[in-house]
A and B are shown apart, each in its own frame.
Chain A
Amino acid sequence: MMPLLSYVNEYDTPECNTLAETAKRSIRTPDSLGLDRCIQCGACTASCPAARFTDYSPRQIVKRVLENDWSLLEDESIWSCFYCYSCNLRCPRNNSPVTIVQVLRQMAVNEGIGLEKLAYFVDVGEYLAENGASRIPGPGVRNMEKDLGERWIGFKRDLDTIRAELGLKPRDVRDTGSEVRAILEGTGFFEREKWIKSRESGDTELTLNPSAVIMPALKSRL
């Protein structure tokens, strides 16, 4: 039997008894996070582009976090946020639903939920390690080629020449030596990459976090 993978992201999702505590202690949210100050006024939902076109409601998300409703991690709607920070700007209590949702997504990822979404972007990591720059991920390029057609494909083909005409280095490759790769190794990104890719391999057993602390904890809370 293949060894089971586990993955823990202690800075984004510090282990706590409640969703609210994890959200407050996460490095994704500001220290001044006004989660407990939420008055459910709905200014967040009123300014939210996702709420306008989908069932997503940042006000409801915050309410459910305060109620410690762990089923949120399995709720597809947490993946609808645009990360536009309109709620962050407009909240009169300095709460930040947009950063709380970032924590919820990371908690879901720890449980193997939503890995197929991250898999879409996963090649950005290796590309960054190799080139010091990011790029539109491979599946994104294929979709953009379909959408944007020959004009865009042709421009991308000529990019090196155009950049040279503009007085820029033909290719956007940075002189980072091996430093960026070393940083990604040091932060454990490549372990995370394996965790994300485990879903792609089709071996669903691998996607269950066996660390005996988190997954059963989640299950018992649902």
Chain B
Amino acid sequence: MKPIETVPDRKLLLFKSCMVSQEYPGIESATGYAFEKLGADYYVNEEQSCCTGIGHYTDLFEGLTTAAIAARNFAIARRCGYPNITCLCSTCYAVNKEACELLNTNAEVREKVNSIFREQGMDDLVYEKGDMDPRSSFYHAVEVLLSKVDLIREKKQLDFSGVKAAAHHACHYYKVKYQDVVGNPENPQLIDDIAEACGADMVRWYEDRTLTCGMGFSQLHLNRNTSLQVTKAKLDSLKNVGVELMLHMCPNCHIQYDRYQPVIEKEFGVEYDTVHMNIGQFVALALGADPYKVCGFQTHSVPLEEFLERIGAI
């Protein structure tokens, strides 16, 4: 288990996510806004590349490419003085942690990666064993927010009392490296604890709480019907308990639920009243951020206007 006290609030490299940048850019700006309000020291480095997650988990990239790209990003994090990699996407988090473990424990892979760097004249990227620590160099933004939960409660300007909400903790945060999760990996509560501090009425258990979002990397594209059935299972169970706000911590899950909820409604002849938000957008909103200029809700597929009006955000 990862004790919440060990989550740093200094030298955080806010790790850019491709799906955040291209689908829900407000997650990046809102998380940055929340970090600033809460006094967390972070930096966004444009030199950092994609973690390879989309290609790695669609079987396109092999492990060596993923390890080498990760080693380059680790060098960039160390070079700019922000070595605590803090992810917005649960897949970036898992990919980086796994690559770090591989680079530390497998000398053959490490030497191969370093020989590629040397051959290409990129000696400054060379990775030495222990340059990063798989357990203490990688965090998810939700962990930083949870570490500041008392401050969030104190500084909140918007109260979510009376809002029935539920959390979807992303699989690649708590099921890949399950020994490094804040709390119990069988029942993660990070999002619930943060949202409750903002007054939300959290449904802490619902059917299929730990079911995956259904995106499944290649599954949404190659086995679309099964993918949407999985997504529907959780939306149905949220509907059964009257949840109006679903909170996320990964842009892949967010795409699956927010973008595909209207598609599922149409194809399966169902209706849902649930709206979707990333926990960073939620905390920023609670701390007084503009729903459009900071949280970027205009990029969502399920419109939030009615919900935002009711809670007094617009």
Identify the A interface with B (CB < 8 A): 9, 11-12, 26-28, 30-31, 47, 49-50, 52-54, 79-86, 88-89, 102, 105-106, 109, 114, 117-118, 120-122, 124-125, 128, 132-137, 139-140, 143-144, 147-148, 151-152, 155, 159, 162-163, 165-169, 172, 174-176, 179-180, 182-189, 192, 196
Residues in chain B near residue A121, CB distance under 8 A? 54-55, 58, 60, 218, 221
Closest-by-CB residue of B relative to A184 is B65
Q: 8 Å CB contacts to A: which residues of B279-311?
A: 292-294, 296, 298-299, 301
Q: Please tell me if the beta carbons of A186 and B120 are within 8 angstroms of each other in the complex.
A: yes
- Chain A contact residues, majority secondary structure: helix
Q: Return the contact of A54 from the options B50, B65, B226, B263 (Cβ within 8 A).
A: B226
Residues in chain B near residue A134, CB distance under 8 A? 18, 50, 52-55
Q: How far is the CA of A167 from the CA of B296 in the complex (A)?
A: 11
Q: Return the contact of A89 from the options B174, B223, B226 (Cβ within 8 A).
A: B174
Q: Please tell me if the beta carbons of B62 and A12 are within 8 angstroms of each other in the complex.
A: yes
Residues in chain B near residue A189, CB distance under 8 A? 61-62, 65
Q: Please tell me if the beta carbons of A49 and B211 are within 8 angstroms of each other in the complex.
A: yes
Residues in chain A near residue B216, CB distance under 8 A? 49-50, 81-84
Q: How far is the CA of A52 from the CA of B227 in the complex (A)?
A: 11
Report if B40 contacts A (CB, 8 A): no
Q: How far is the CA of A99 from the CA of B277 in the complex (A)?
A: 30
Residues in chain A near residue B83, CB distance under 8 A? none
Residues in chain B near residue A30, CB distance under 8 A? 101
Q: How far is the CA of A143 from the CA of B61 in the complex (A)?
A: 22
Residues in chain A near residue B29, CB distance under 8 A? 166-168
Stretch of B41-49, B137-145, B190-198 lying at the A interface: B41-49
Q: How far is the CA of A78 from the CA of B46 in the complex (A)?
A: 37
Q: Return the contact of A27 from the options B106, B175, B212, B220 (Cβ within 8 A).
A: B106
Report if B130 contacts A (CB, 8 A): no
Residues in chain B near residue A144, CB distance under 8 A? 259
Q: How far is the CA of A134 from the CA of B58 in the complex (A)?
A: 12
Q: Please tell me if the beta carbons of A120 and B46 are within 8 angstroms of each other in the complex.
A: no
Residues in chain B near residue A89, CB distance under 8 A? 174-175, 178, 185-186
- Known contacts A89-B175, A132-B50; 17 further A-B pairs (Cβ under 8 A): A12-B63, A27-B67, A31-B105, A83-B216, A85-B171, A86-B210, A86-B212, A120-B218, A120-B221, A124-B60, A125-B60, A128-B52, A151-B301, A166-B296, A172-B16, A180-B69, A186-B119
Q: Please tell me if the beta carbons of A159 and B62 are within 8 angstroms of each other in the complex.
A: no
Q: Please tell me if the beta carbons of A148 and B221 are within 8 angstroms of each other in the complex.
A: no
Q: Please tell me if the beta carbons of A163 and B185 are within 8 angstroms of each other in the complex.
A: no
Within the complex, the shortest CB–CB distance from B213 to chain A, in Å, comes to 8
Residues in chain B near residue A86, CB distance under 8 A? 171, 175, 210, 212
| Given known contacts A117-B218, A134-B55, A53 and B229 CB-to-CB distance under 8 angstroms | yes
Q: How far is the CA of A31 from the CA of B105 in the complex (A)?
A: 9
List 26 A–B pairs whose Cβ atoms lie within 8 Å, in order of A's numbering.
A11-B62, A12-B62, A28-B63, A49-B211, A49-B212, A49-B216, A50-B219, A79-B218, A85-B172, A88-B178, A89-B186, A102-B59, A120-B218, A120-B221, A124-B55, A136-B22, A139-B221, A143-B224, A172-B16, A172-B22, A174-B46, A179-B120, A180-B72, A182-B122, A183-B116, A186-B116
Residues in chain B near residue A85, CB distance under 8 A? 171-172, 175-176
Residues in chain B near residue A152, CB distance under 8 A? 259, 301
Residues in chain B near residue A106, CB distance under 8 A? 59, 62
Q: How far is the CA of A136 from the CA of B19 in the complex (A)?
A: 8
Q: How far is the CA of A185 from the CA of B117 in the complex (A)?
A: 11
| Given known contacts A172-B22, A187-B116, A120 and B68 CB-to-CB distance under 8 angstroms | no
Q: How far is the CA of A89 from the CA of B50 in the complex (A)?
A: 26
Report if B217 contacts A (CB, 8 A): yes
| Given known contacts A166-B294, A180-B69, A82 and B55 CB-to-CB distance under 8 angstroms | no
Report if B260 contacts A (CB, 8 A): yes
Q: How far is the CA of A89 from the CA of B54 in the complex (A)?
A: 21
Residues in chain A near residue B49, CB distance under 8 A? 128, 132-133, 174, 176, 180
Within the complex, the shortest CB–CB distance from A64 to chain B, in Å, comes to 19
Residues in chain A near residue B67, CB distance under 8 A? 27
Q: How far is the CA of A162 from the CA of B156 in the complex (A)?
A: 26
Within the complex, the shortest CB–CB distance from B82 to chain A, in Å, comes to 16
Report the 8 A-B pairs with minimum CB-CB distance, sorted nearest first.
A82-B216, A186-B116, A84-B212, A85-B175, A172-B21, A89-B175, A182-B120, A132-B49
Closest-by-CB residue of B relative to A164 is B25
Closest-by-CB residue of B relative to A114 is B59
Within the complex, the shortest CB–CB distance from B139 to chain A, in Å, comes to 19
Q: Return the contact of A174 from the options B48, B65, B186, B262 (Cβ within 8 A).
A: B48
Residues in chain A near residue B21, CB distance under 8 A? 133, 163, 168, 172
| Given known contacts A53-B230, A85-B175, A89-B175, A159 and B22 CB-to-CB distance under 8 angstroms | yes
Q: How far is the CA of A147 from the CA of B260 in the complex (A)?
A: 8
